[in-house]
Structure 1
């Protein structure tokens, strides 16, 4: 049996890809978008405009013993089509899990959005024993897409 290393969810949002991307590419919007309940606020984060950028989020979760920060390293950027980043505890290099948002226009006012949470690149055995992947459930990813839809239509 193959071990699962990613979860993807898809939803059509009644907004243009440009409008959806505008919401996604501003880190401060992820407080409202996040369906996991981990994201509390943005510590530092300009609008994402290219790969190589980094934004820092204030987080909370029992898996980390309460409040903590993450640095999110932008690994994929294609305006109005793709946004991806790898997350790491603040001040460290990413251990391998990645969030990927793919936008496919379905017309001028409709966009199919695919959100993938991928931990296939995590190779640190100690981390794999400590963290029980997936940390975020499929239903929470679906909540993120629902929240994105609401934010894109406001």
Structure 2
């Protein structure tokens, strides 16, 4: 589902929520689940354990002229049910786009996973002129859910 400022995709994954959350909270596994092709690796980042943490990722993309780093500021954390962060180019404050993973148990062996990419809070005109939102498509977000399903089954 998409509106003018966010894309939301959902999928039921055949794994318990704690197993899925375990993958999501390890930035070293984000390349494995990324459907956009932008994530290269984490940058010596520990497991995400709460709001306020910042994790750094090595990225690549033509939109940034090649290789770059992001700092991801954790804005939502509820063990086994929610993980959210705002992304910014390394060394800057987040300009307003946010990624949110929501997990809801569907019995003991399956989880409904919702991934939201939201750029509604981006208000800086220079950022809006530079970044062609949405930078990640609905298909790429759905690929991320498929990759997550594969990651927890392996």
Q: Same fold by TM-score, threshold 0.5 exceeded?
A: yes
> 1:35-114 residue pairs with structure 2 within 5 A?
35-114=35-114
Kindly indicate whether residue 28 of structure 2 is the aligned counterpart of residue 28 of structure 1.
yes
Kindly provide the CA deviation profile for residues 58-109 of structure 1, in whole angstroms up to 9, marking residues without a partner as x.
Answer: 0000000000000000000000000000000001110000000000000110
Q: Distance in 2 between matches of 1:42 and 1:77?
A: 19
3-state SS in 1 of match to 2:21: helix
Cα displacement (A) at 1:153? 1.1
Cα displacement (A) at 1:44? 2.8
3-state SS in 2 of match to 1:49: coil
3-state SS in 1 of match to 2:52: coil
Q: Distance in 2 between matches of 1:108 and 1:153?
A: 15
The runs of 5 or more residues in structure 1 that have no matched partner are: none
Name the residue aligned to 2:11: 11
3-state SS in 1 of match to 2:106: strand
Q: Distance in 2 between matches of 1:24 and 1:127?
A: 27
The runs of 5 or more residues in structure 2 that have no matched partner are: none
Aligned residues: 152
Q: Which moved more, 1:123-132 or 1:54-63?
A: 123-132
Name the residue aligned to 1:117: 117
Q: Which runs of 4+ in 1 moved over 2 A?
A: none
